[in-house]
Amino acid sequence: MDIAEKVFIVTGGSSGLGKAFANELVRNIANVVITGRDLDKLKQVASDLGSNCMWFHADMTKDEDLDALIEFTLDRFGRLDGIINNAGIGGWSPLEELTREKMREVYEVNVFGAAMLASKATKIFKKQNHGAIVNVASTASLSGYKYGTIYSSSKFAVRSMSQCWQAELRPHNIRVIQINPSEVPTAFGQENRDEKELVANKLSPQEIADVLIAALKMDPRGFIPEVTVWATNPF
């Protein structure tokens, strides 16, 4: 679709992949509302991206915040054309140290938060008979790994949800797209939330943002259900 003047919500938009997504959407003359946990960074990114980008401080684990996010977007822009479920947190644990609390913390954001925002947006998309839901998962949604019980299983859940939503929403012209980045140096998983330095032979947020824009710009008669992005030669 032509994304100029369309309106998108990007969760986790204050750094890393989310910031790159918002930047590319604005460059394509879309309007964007970004969310994030770090209020200062969120305000700064929105200011840097200009008048087409607005910020909203929302907790992905609270339904009332997600309702307010949708209401804020509609009040400011009068429409909603797509959501980018990018917010996520990591969690690694040896099996014998696994706890309900550790699993619940990650699932609340990566799975439940994404599902609840998609549920609320779908009500709008069905009424207008179009919309896009982009779930940013990971190559961890394709294959498990040592100590990955929490994070990898949460991304497997996202992949399952994407497939369920595709089957359910295609008759309403709602495209559900999943993007699986391989390792990208970002603030993800950093306690201080500082961005990691980019590495020349590894992925940057830009490659993932390029995929997002290409998928959204495809004519609405088709969609990309899932795409995985690997660094060509990270070795």
Active centre residues (catalytic): 151
User: DSSP secondary-structure letter at 225?
Assistant: S
Tokens 């009500």 correspond to 123
Q: In the chain, which residue ranges form alpha helices assigned H by DSSP?
A: 16-27, 39-49, 63-77, 100-107, 114-128, 149-169, 205-217
Short-list 70, 47, 12, 69, CA closest to 193: 12
Helix (H) or strand (E) holding 83: strand 82-85
123: left (phi over 0), alpha (psi -120 to 50) or beta: alpha
In angstroms, the CA 155 to CA 225 distance is 15
Quick check: 200 and 152 in contact, CB under 8 A? no
Question: Do 211 and 17 contact (CB within 8 A), yes or no?
Answer: no
